[in-house]
Structures are given as structure tokens and as C-alpha cells.
């Protein structure tokens, strides 16, 4: 546990092993392990809503959610990585690809660490409100806050690369677009994370494979028209 917290502190402070040009591979594995551990923690807290509101099957939901948050963060990263590699090659930045990946993984680990740091607030919110819609909204705010912090951390990790070649700045913007597109669809697929009190606990919902963007557009359209 102490080693894990030390690693988290190193990531947030950009310790030498997280930025050294040599030995990129071992650093990526260490960053990935930290990402998985802290994402698992926040997932378990996220799924504790049923337990704190006195519902059945709360332990199963906690386990499912603890698995899903690392799957979301790691899955969105892995699915988006081939596109990022192609863009890096087109931009003539393939030589820096290893360092770029390490910076991206460090930012993902930072996102998980920040989520874990915010988990006490999530528990307090669950203890203060039994409304499912508010629990969803609050978790959305937590992810948004952690994502902002992770973006700041990513820019700090990317600063040496941008100084070496300004084209990295455009590639960073491209990565943000790729990641968001993948993450939104993957988050829809992996629902539920909190667990609706009106439904049985299940790992995936029947409509998991629907297109998230079509569904969101439909919800927005019905809201504008005032139709059910």
C-alpha cells in the first residue's frame, strides 16, 4: 500500500522515472498498475450506492463497478492507441511514440488517482441523498473534475515533447478527440456503473451495444419536442 501511494505521489509530481527518456517500457507497466489499482478503488466506491441506500445485491454491484472503471479507462486508451500511432507516423513523430505513450498513460494514471482522491466526497453524497439521478450526476461531476486535473497533468508531461517538436501540440488535440469519442461509447456499453434501484444488478444492460451517440441525440430531440 505504501509503495502504491509513493508511486501515485511520483506520478503527480512527475518524478524522474516517469519522464526519463531511457527505460520507457518499465515505467509504462508501473504507471498502468497504478492506473488499474486506483480506478478499481473508485469503481468500488461508485458502485456502493446500493449498499448505502439499503438495497439488495449491493456487493455484486460494487464488484461489477470496481471492474468496469479500470475497463473504461484502459479500454478507451487501448482502442484509441492505434489511431494515435497512425497519426504520429503521418506527422513524422514515430520516433517519439514511446515517450508519448508514457505521457498518456501517466495522465490516465493521474485521472485514476484523482478519482480515488475524490471518492470520500462520493461516499458523503451517497449517504446524503438516495436519488439515483443525483448519484449519476454527482459521479459525472467527479469524472469531469478529475479529467480537468488529468488534462493539466498531461500537458505538463507533454511539455518536453512539444518543446522538441511543436507538432506534438496538434497531436495532443487529436488524441483528446479520439479518446472522448471512444470513451463515450465504451461508457455506454459498460453501464450500469451506479446501479438503478428499479433494476436487477447486471454486468451489462440489454441495450449495451446500441450506438451511444444515436441514443443521446434521440434523448435530446425528445426533450426539445417535449415528447416522452
Q: Taking the domains of the chain in order of start, what are their residue ranges?
A: 2-225
Q: Over the stretch 123-161, which tens digit does the pLDDT of each residue have?
A: 999 999 889 889 999 999 999 999 999 999 999 999 999
Return the exposure string of 177-190: e unless at least 16 CB atoms fall within 10 Å of the residue's CB, then b. Answer: ebbebbbebbbbbb
Confidence of residue 227 (pLDDT cuts 50, 70, 90): low
Percent of the chain exceeding pLDDT 90 equals: 73
Position with higher pLDDT, 195 vs 115: 115
Confidence of residue 228 (pLDDT cuts 50, 70, 90): low
Residue 55: is its pLDDT beyond 90? no
pLDDT of residue 70: 97
Q: What secondary structure does DSSP assign to 105-134, as a single string?
A: HHHHHHHHHHHHHHHHHHHHHHHH---HHH
pLDDT of residue 24: 85
Q: pTM for the full model?
A: 0.91
pLDDT of residue 220: 62
C-alpha cell at 225: 419536442
Residue 165: is its pLDDT beyond 80? yes
- Average pLDDT of span 159-181: 95
Exposed, middle or buried by CB within 10 Å (0-12, 13-18, 19+), for 106? buried
Contact, 185 vs 216, CB < 8 A? Answer: no
Amino acid at each position: 500500500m505504501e509503495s502504491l501511494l509513493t508511486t501515485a505521489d511520483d506520478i503527480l509530481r512527475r518524478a524522474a522515472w516517469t519522464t526519463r527518456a531511457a527505460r520507457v517500457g518499465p515505467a509504462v507497466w508501473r504507471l498502468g498498475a497504478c492506473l488499474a489499482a486506483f480506478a478499481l478503488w473508485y469503481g468500488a466506491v461508485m458502485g456502493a450506492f446500493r449498499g448505502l441506500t439499503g438495497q439488495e445485491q449491493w456487493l455484486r454491484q460494487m464488484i461489477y463497478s470496481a471492474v468496469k472503471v479500470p475497463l473504461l479507462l484502459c479500454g478507451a486508451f487501448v482502442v484509441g492507441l492505434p489511431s494515435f500511432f497512425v497519426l504520429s507516423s503521418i506527422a513524422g513523430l514515430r520516433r517519439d511514440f514511446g515517450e508519448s505513450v508514457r505521457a498518456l498513460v501517466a495522465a490516465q494514471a493521474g485521472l485514476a488517482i484523482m478519482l480515488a482522491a475524490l471518492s470520500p466526497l462520493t461516499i458523503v453524497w451517497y449517504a446524503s441523498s438516495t436519488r439515483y439521478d443525483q448519484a449519476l450526476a454527482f459521479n459525472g461531476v467527479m469524472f469531469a473534475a478529475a479529467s480537468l486535473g488529468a488534462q493539466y497533468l498531461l500537458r505538463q508531461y507533454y511539455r518536453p515533447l512539444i518543446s522538441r517538436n511543436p507538432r506534438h501540440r496538434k497531436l495532443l488535440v487529436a488524441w483528446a478527440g479520439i479518446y472522448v469519442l471512444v470513451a463515450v461509447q465504451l461508457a455506454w456499453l459498460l453501464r450500469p456503473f451506479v446501479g438503478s434501484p428499479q433494476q436487477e444488478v447486471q454486468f451489462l444492460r440489454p441495450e449495451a451495444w446500441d450506438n451511444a451517440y444515436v441514443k443521446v441525440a434521440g434523448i435530446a430531440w425528445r426533450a426539445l419536442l417535449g415528447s416522452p
